[in-house]
Amino acid sequence: SQQGEEDPQALSIQEGENATMNCSYKTSINNLQWYRQNSGRGLVHLILIRSNEREKHSGRLRVTLDTSKKSSSLLITASRAADTASYFCATRPDNDYKLSFGAGTTVTVRA
């Protein structure tokens, strides 16, 4: 069963704006990862945050993790048309090494 749930399901923003999406999960985790999927392509790993970390940055991406609320957020700053994609969170539970993916947030960046 899917561990993570993303919110919102879809997001439409203007180029240059920030995009924020959230992920909630149910069980304790070892780490949480975010992936991007462009239309018709495979998933690409963006960033990993461990359970003992609260915030992580990679370029225009900022990820936060709140283990007490079992939630994470992904912020994309200064969005570009190329950021148009679906974004998935994936959790690795404490007691397993397999990842569990959410249903994703579809982001559309308008020019």
Write out the residues near another protein by the rule CB under 8 A: 1-2, 4, 31, 33, 35, 40-45, 48, 88, 90, 92, 97-99, 101-104
In the complex, the smallest distance separating the C-beta of residue 75 from another protein, rounded to whole angstroms, is: 20
- For residue 9, the minimal CB distance to another protein (Å) is 8
Which of 33, 71 has the CB closer to another protein? 33
Taking the C-alpha atoms of residue 38 and residue 10, their distance in angstroms, rounded to an integer, is 14
Distance CA 77, CA 81 (A): 12
DSSP 102: -
